[in-house]
A and B are shown apart, each in its own frame.
Chain A
Amino acid sequence: MRKFIDKIKPSFEKGGKFGFLHSTFDAFESFLYVPDTVTRRGSHVRDCVDLKRIMIIMVLALVPAMLFGIWNTGYQHSVAFGLNDWGFWNMVGYGLVKVIPLYLVSYIVGLAIEFISAQIRGHEVNEGYLVSGMIIPLIVPADVPLWMLALAVAFAVILGKEVFGGTGMNIWNPALLARAFLFFSYPSMMSGDTIWTAGATRYLAEGKAYACGNGLVDGFSGATPLAHPSVEGLQAAGTNVWDLISGVIPGCVGETSVIAILIGAVILIWTGVASWKIMLSSVVGGLAIGYLGQAVGVTDLPGYYQLLMGGFAFGTVFMATDPVTSAQTETGKWIYGFLVGALAVTVRMFNPGYPEGMMLAILLMNTFAPLIDHYVIQASMGRRAKKIKTA
Chain B
Amino acid sequence: MSNNIDLKKGLNIPISGSAGLKTRKAIVPDVVAVKPTDFRGLKPKLLVKEGDKVLAGSPVLADKESPDILFTSPVSGTVAAVVRGDKRKLLEVRIKADASQEYLNFAVGNVSSLDAAQIKSLLMKSGLWPAIIQRPYGIIANPAIQPKAIFVSAFSTAPLAADTEYILKDEFANLQTAVNALAKLTDGKVHVSLNSANASGSVFHKLENVVFHSFSGKHPAGNVGVQIHHISPIMKGDTVWTVSPVMLAAIGRFLNTGKYDMTRLIAVTGPKAIEPAYVKGLPGISMKDISEFYGNSASGIRFISGDVLTGENVGEDGFLGFFDTQVTLIKEGNEHELLGWAKPFRTKLFSTSRTYFSWLTPKKTYDMDTNLHGGPRAFVMSDVYSKVLPMDIYPVYLTKACLANDIDKMEEFGIYEVLEEDLALCEYVCPSKIEIQSIITDGIALMMKEMA
Contacts and interface: CB of A to CB of B under 8 A. Distances in A.
A7 interface: no
Given A33-B337, A35-B336, A324-B380, A47 B375 contact: no
A323 B313 contact: no
Chain B CB within 10 A, most for which of A42, A48, A169: A48
B308 A45 contact: yes
Contacts of A56: 341-342
B424 A48 contact: no
Contact of A48 (B310, B328, B351, B382): B351
Contacts of A165: 378
Interface string A361-391: 0000000000000000100110010001001
A47 B373 contact: yes
A328 B379 CA distance: 11
A17 interface: no
Interface in A36-51: 36-51
Interface stretch (B94-102, B174-182, B184-192, B433-441): B433-441
Chain B CB within 10 A, most for which of A43, A165, A323, A380: A43
A168 interface: yes
A272 interface: yes
Given A51-B432, A328-B396, A46 B373 contact: yes
A167 interface: yes
A38 B394 contact: no
Contact of A37 (B350, B375, B381, B383): B375
A11 interface: no
A41 B427 CA distance: 11
A124 B428 contact: no
A379 B336 CA distance: 46
A187 B431 CA distance: 39
A35 B375 contact: yes
B167 to A, nearest CB: 22
B377 to A, nearest CB: 5
A50 B375 contact: yes
B353 to A, nearest CB: 4
B330 interface: yes
Interface string B302-346: 101000111101000000000000001010111111111110001
A50 B431 contact: yes
B233 interface: yes
B258 to A, nearest CB: 39
Contacts of A44: 302, 304, 308-309, 311, 313, 328, 330, 370
A33 B330 CA distance: 22
A296 interface: no
A372 B429 CA distance: 26
Given A33-B337, A38-B370, A48 B309 contact: no
B351 A45 contact: no
B403 interface: no
Contacts of B372: 35, 37-39, 46
B278 to A, nearest CB: 21
Contacts of B427: 42-43, 46
Q: Which size bracket describes the interface of A in this complex?
A: 35 or more
A184 interface: no
A245 B386 CA distance: 36
Chain A CB within 10 A, most for which of B335, B355, B380: B355
Interface in A239-273: 270-273
Interface residues of B, number: 71
Contact of A46 (B337, B386, B428, B438): B428
Contacts of B233: 384, 388
A232 interface: no
Interface string B403-433: 0000000001000000010001001111111
B369 interface: yes
B308 A43 contact: yes
A364 to B, nearest CB: 20
B330 A42 contact: no
A168 B377 contact: yes
Contact of B420 (A30, A42, A388): A42
A36 B339 contact: no
Contacts of B370: 38-39, 44-45
Contacts of B294: none
Contacts of A32: 338-339
A46 B340 CA distance: 14
A54 B355 contact: yes
A169 B235 contact: no
A54 B354 contact: no
A50 B375 CA distance: 8
A47 B431 contact: yes
A49 B381 CA distance: 12
Contacts of B291: none
A329 B378 contact: no
B378 A166 contact: yes
A230 interface: no
B413 to A, nearest CB: 8
B336 A2 contact: yes
B138 to A, nearest CB: 15
B39 interface: no
B103 interface: no
Nearest to B340: A34
Given A34-B374, A38-B334, A41-B438, A53 B354 contact: no
Contacts of B13: 45
B377 A47 contact: no
A57 interface: yes
Contact of A33 (B15, B339, B383, B386): B339
B39 to A, nearest CB: 18
Contact of A271 (B159, B328, B353): B353
Nearest to B341: A52
Contacts of A126: 377-378
Interface string A306-349: 00000000000000000110101110000000000000000000
A281 interface: no
A47 B428 contact: yes
Contacts of A166: 378
B434 to A, nearest CB: 9
Contacts of B352: 47, 49
A50 B373 CA distance: 7
Interface string A154-176: 00000000000111110000000
Chain B CB within 10 A, most for which of A41, A330, A391: A41
B298 interface: no
B431 A53 contact: yes
B239 to A, nearest CB: 16
A282 B310 CA distance: 40
A377 to B, nearest CB: 6
Nearest to B13: A45
Given A32-B339, A56-B342, A49 B377 contact: no
B431 A37 contact: no
Given A39-B372, A168-B379, A323-B382, 9 more contacts: A2-B336, A36-B335, A43-B428, A44-B328, A54-B380, A56-B341, A323-B381, A330-B386, A377-B394
Interface of B: 13, 15, 159, 232-233, 235, 302, 304, 308-311, 313, 328, 330, 332-342, 346, 349-356, 368-384, 386, 392, 394, 396-397, 412, 420, 424, 427-433, 435-438
14 contacts: A34-B374, A36-B333, A38-B370, A42-B420, A45-B13, A45-B330, A46-B433, A49-B373, A52-B341, A165-B378, A168-B377, A168-B378, A168-B380, A328-B382
Enumerate the 4 nearest inter-chain pairs by beta-carbon distance, A residue then B residue, closest first.
Answer: A50-B374, A168-B378, A34-B340, A42-B437
